[in-house]
Protein backbone atom coordinates (compact mmCIF):
# COMPACT_ATOMS: atom_id res chain seq x y z
CA UNK A 1 0.00 0.00 0.00
CA UNK A 2 1.35 3.41 -0.93
CA UNK A 3 1.56 5.48 2.26
CA UNK A 4 3.55 8.56 1.25
CA UNK A 5 2.39 9.81 -2.13
CA UNK A 6 4.87 12.70 -2.22
CA UNK A 7 7.91 10.42 -1.93
CA UNK A 8 6.23 7.25 -3.24
CA UNK A 9 7.00 5.13 -0.17
CA UNK A 10 4.96 2.05 0.67
CA UNK A 11 4.10 0.37 3.97
CA UNK A 12 6.71 -2.36 3.50
CA UNK A 13 9.49 0.22 3.39
CA UNK A 14 8.16 1.99 6.49
CA UNK A 15 7.92 -1.30 8.39
CA UNK A 16 11.48 -2.11 7.35
CA UNK A 17 12.62 1.24 8.77
CA UNK A 18 10.81 0.42 12.03
CA UNK A 19 12.47 -3.00 12.22
CA UNK A 20 15.81 -1.27 11.74
CA UNK A 21 15.20 1.09 14.66
CA UNK A 22 13.04 4.00 13.48
CA UNK A 23 10.93 5.18 16.42
CA UNK A 24 8.57 7.66 14.73
CA UNK A 25 7.81 9.57 11.55
CA UNK A 26 10.89 11.74 11.99
CA UNK A 27 13.21 8.73 11.99
CA UNK A 28 11.35 7.27 9.00
CA UNK A 29 11.65 10.58 7.12
CA UNK A 30 15.41 10.51 7.63
CA UNK A 31 15.65 6.87 6.60
CA UNK A 32 13.49 6.80 3.47
CA UNK A 33 11.84 10.21 2.97
CA UNK A 34 8.28 9.22 3.91
CA UNK A 35 6.54 12.09 5.69
CA UNK A 36 9.22 14.61 4.83
CA UNK A 37 7.14 16.82 2.54
CA UNK A 38 3.47 17.68 3.05
CA UNK A 39 3.09 15.63 6.26
CA UNK A 40 -0.30 14.17 5.42
CA UNK A 41 0.96 10.63 5.93
CA UNK A 42 2.74 11.22 9.26
CA UNK A 43 -0.08 9.83 11.44
CA UNK A 44 -0.17 6.64 9.36
CA UNK A 45 3.64 6.39 9.40
CA UNK A 46 3.59 6.63 13.21
CA UNK A 47 0.85 4.01 13.35
CA UNK A 48 2.80 1.60 11.15
CA UNK A 49 5.94 2.09 13.25
CA UNK A 50 4.00 1.42 16.47
CA UNK A 51 2.31 -1.66 15.00
CA UNK A 52 5.63 -3.05 13.79
CA UNK A 53 7.28 -2.48 17.18
CA UNK A 54 4.34 -4.14 18.95
CA UNK A 55 4.51 -7.17 16.65
CA UNK A 56 8.25 -7.52 17.17
CA UNK A 57 7.99 -7.05 20.93
CA UNK A 58 5.27 -9.70 21.11
CA UNK A 59 7.61 -12.11 19.33
CA UNK A 60 10.46 -11.11 21.65
CA UNK A 61 12.50 -9.78 18.73
CA UNK A 62 12.59 -6.07 19.44
CA UNK A 63 13.56 -3.98 22.44
CA UNK A 64 13.94 -0.21 22.36
CA UNK A 65 17.10 0.93 24.16
CA UNK A 66 16.67 2.57 27.54
CA UNK A 67 16.73 6.36 27.57
CA UNK A 68 20.06 7.94 28.48
CA UNK A 69 20.28 8.91 32.12
Q: Is position 47 within any domain?
A: yes
Distance separating alpha carbons of residues 67 and 11, to the nearest angstrom: 27
Distance separating alpha carbons of residues 25 and 39, to the nearest angstrom: 9
Task: Tally the domains of the chain.
Answer: 1
pLDDT of residue 63: 58
For residue 67, CA distances in Å to 27, 34, 55, 61, 63 come to 16, 25, 21, 19, 12
CB hemisphere CA count around 18 (13 angstroms): 25
SS3 for 24? coil
Q: Is position 23 within any domain?
A: yes
pLDDT of residue 69: 41
Identify the segments of the chain with pLDDT beneath 70.
61-69
pLDDT of residue 7: 98
Q: Is position 53 within any domain?
A: yes
Report the CATH number that the domain containing residue 13 is assigned in CATH. Answer: 1.10.10.1100
Q: Is position 69 within any domain?
A: no
Q: Is position 28 within any domain?
A: yes
Domain range for 23 is: 2-58
Q: Is position 64 within any domain?
A: no
pLDDT of residue 59: 82
Amino acid sequence: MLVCHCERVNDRTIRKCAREGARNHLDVALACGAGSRCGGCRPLVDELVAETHAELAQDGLFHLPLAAR
